[in-house]
Structure 1
Amino acid sequence: MKKLMNQPDQYVDQMLEGIVAAHPELKRIAGTQVIVRAHPKAKVALVSGGGSGHEPAHAGYVGVGMLDAAVSGSVFTSPTPDQVLSAIRAVDQGQGVLLVIKNYTGDVMNFEMAADLASMEGIAIEKVIVADDVAVENSTYTVGQRGIAGTVFVHKIAGAAAEAGMDLATVKRIAEKVIANVHSMGMALSPCTVPASGKPSFVLGEDEVEIGIGIHGEPGTHRENLRLADEIVDTLLDRILAHSGVVDGDEVAVMLNGLGATPQSELYIAYRRVAERLRARNIAVHKALVGEYMTSLEMAGFSISLLKLDDELMSLLDAPADTPAYRQS
């Protein structure tokens, strides 16, 4: 194992120290693994998070127009309820807090426990659960579809709604609309290595790929021999379109997300095929995001997320944002 790190047990702590050192618009709540906006605004607050190792998710999306707090667990491990509760307390401005939770058993359990505790303290709290992965219904970490890179669209659009001063019920409704309309699927060319274990999370043969991989290395639908990039894109996109309800003439946003070790050149090769396929069906791409938005340490591979848009979602997607990992004027 080769990692640019010091001690494995300080991996997350030192990463968070580096984030706030690089971005003075953020701060860390003392004694926690919670990153918040240094200059909070009186509005509905958004809190998200999960295991570390998916950077820039989630701390990279803390800022104007997106999240108010991100809670980082150990690598690929859900944050504890007390950490989530610390985040809720830190960002509550009296107008309520929305938790954005990816559908993993530990995340759901710990965030919901924190929500119950916060509610007992008199904090108005709501939650949504993102389950955008169309690859498999159940896996190592979940009951039901997993939450993967489509979560970033929830952060962006619900964050814009909160930034605009909408109330908690409205922000939750908009987040749920995004969740209902975003669908994703990924693949891996190679595994990653969790620092504490020192061993790859799974093994692929030299000419094998995993189709439908999860963001922690969970198995997908099947393994197969490496094929042409266009053929792999077609496999993922066909399944996404079959689940999405997107039809000819619709308008969408697309995220072509690298998993940590895929060159930008290869991501653009993949996106080229996505654009070609959508154009052939007269599906207009309103916004295309190509890059690393929710990774899996140094895993090689990518995921595609397709968000069906209406006027409301489009307007909020286009709203300004200023965070370390997502800036839009």
Structure 2
Amino acid sequence: MNLAFRVLLFCFIISWRIVTAQDLVELSGSLPESLSAQSYLVVGDIFVSPGSSVSIEAGSVLLFESFTGMHVQGTVYVKGNEDKPVVFTSKNDKQHNPNATVDAAPFDWNGIDIYESALGSSFDRCTIRYSVYGIRSQTEHFKVINSIFSNNGKADMTIKGERQDINSHTPFSYGLPSVDAPSKLPQPQQIAETLPPKAELPASSTSSDQQKRIGVQILRYTGLAIGVGAGAASVWYFIRKFQPAHDRLEELSTIDDNEKWKYSSKDWESAEKERSRKLGLCIAGAGGAMLGIGMFSISFAF
């Protein structure tokens, strides 16, 4: 009976994990017109394409993997409510992802970029957590209504480079006073009537934004590859090459007087040069690792 119970318990746990995993719908690339209320795993950057409109319904949870984010180039309507906010957070957020194996932390995912072409977007009662920069907008023409920002790394929200003063875990509104924030989002037609004509936007703004984003990604991943590769190579070379050369020089420097006749001064000089050469290569590898780390770190400044 005890064995049968254990087998049933094991099968139940496996089945539960499979069902839970299936509940996460993977997202990457251009978003559809609407995201229904369920949990999503963002495995690559997601986009609201220029000229398109995307609605994210109340109760939606977007779990972002590392180095991913959301790029709003069209118009997004985040339609959370008091009972069911829309959540943008790390895949490691155990509050929203019971399968997470590590704790969530600031800088877990990139954040939400709003481009100049993204006029009229609205974020109604959403939560943004554990990102690098929360919302980073190139335009003032969007709204945030009673939304919560917490545990973001560099900033909760910046508009045209200016950091907004936001109290963590406190509802925040932008574009509307908090007390006057409506319970429902304005209709897209109403928003469009208050916006400046799109003709005022530079024609090349979207393409230049995309080029900048691609450049930042190249800088980030190149720096990561150089840092990890050079660091690993430096450690390996130190252990496998430099250390034996160092030991050889130490051996020649400490031999007994009775053994000195076996070696000449050239042997000692050769061993010293070999150690110096290999030490230089180790230092060069460490320098490459530092360069890669620097490139990786700088990429988050853009």
TM score, norm. by length of structure 2:
0.26
From the two aligned structures, give the one with the greater helix fraction: 2
Bigger-Rg structure (1/2): 2
Which of structures 1 and 2 has the larger relative contact order (alpha carbons within 8 angstroms, sep 6+)? 1
Given the two structures, how large is their TM-score scaled by the length of structure 1? 0.25
